[in-house]
Amino acid sequence: MVFAGFVAGCGLREPALVNPGMSTANRFAAGPSTSSQDGGAFADTRVDLQSVQTVGKAFVSRGHFDGRWTAQIAVNEAALATYTNLGASSRFGVGSILVKKHASTASATPGPIFVMTKRDPSFYPEGGDWEYLVLDAGGHLEDGGKLALCARCHAEANADWVFGLPAEAR
């Protein structure tokens, strides 16, 4: 389980990644996973971390790791217009990819990477039909799929399970 001991949800307590940097998965997040919390394998996924473009400025993360990490958002072409114009009624198209890269606020050391990929309707209704991936700092897969912990927090998001950039990052 990737987020061992993380009971209260997103925010104050920082979950530890399992064996960060020790994954045997390749640098592209690729499936299927057998380590998903809910036991379900995720779709045949390849997220080329070089194919996404940065949106906005880096900011101190208030959700993931609450203040310990800065975060930078990147999106693929399919998500760009929706993400940059995010509003309450916004909906992402199938194939949209959102990436949140973290770095230590103290040393700028790269940290974990979280990815959301919009899947076909009915893929995971309880998670907004998003596939959630957790990668270590090197881009190696740690966990992915229908991750209930991710979905629980993202259900509180502004639009289509996505929080958007904070004001200071725009």
* CA proximity to 38, closest of 14, 69, 2: 2
Band of the pLDDT at 150, cuts 50, 70, 90?
Answer: very high
pLDDT digits (tens, 9 = 90+) for 29-72: 444 333 333 333 344 445 678 889 999 999 999 888 778 899 99
Statement: residue 104 has pLDDT above 80: yes
- The confidence score (pLDDT) of residue 50 equals 82
- The confidence score (pLDDT) of residue 54 equals 97
- The confidence score (pLDDT) of residue 137 equals 92
Statement: residue 9 has pLDDT above 90: no
pLDDT digits (tens, 9 = 90+) for 106-148: 999 999 999 999 999 999 999 999 999 999 998 889 999 999 9
Mean pLDDT of 71-80: 97
Amino acid present at 95: G
- The confidence score (pLDDT) of residue 26 equals 37
Mean pLDDT of 150-159: 94
Q: Please indicate whether residue 21 or residue 136 has the higher confidence score (pLDDT).
A: 136
The dotted CATH code for 29-169 is 3.50.70.20
Tell me the pTM: 0.76
- The confidence score (pLDDT) of residue 38 equals 37
Whether the upstream peptide bond of residue 15 has omega within 30° of 0, thus cis, is no
Statement: residue 90 has pLDDT above 90: yes
Statement: residue 95 has pLDDT above 90: yes
Hey, where are the domains in the chain?
A: 29-169
Q: Please indicate whether residue 43 or residue 87 has the higher confidence score (pLDDT).
A: 87
- The confidence score (pLDDT) of residue 118 equals 97
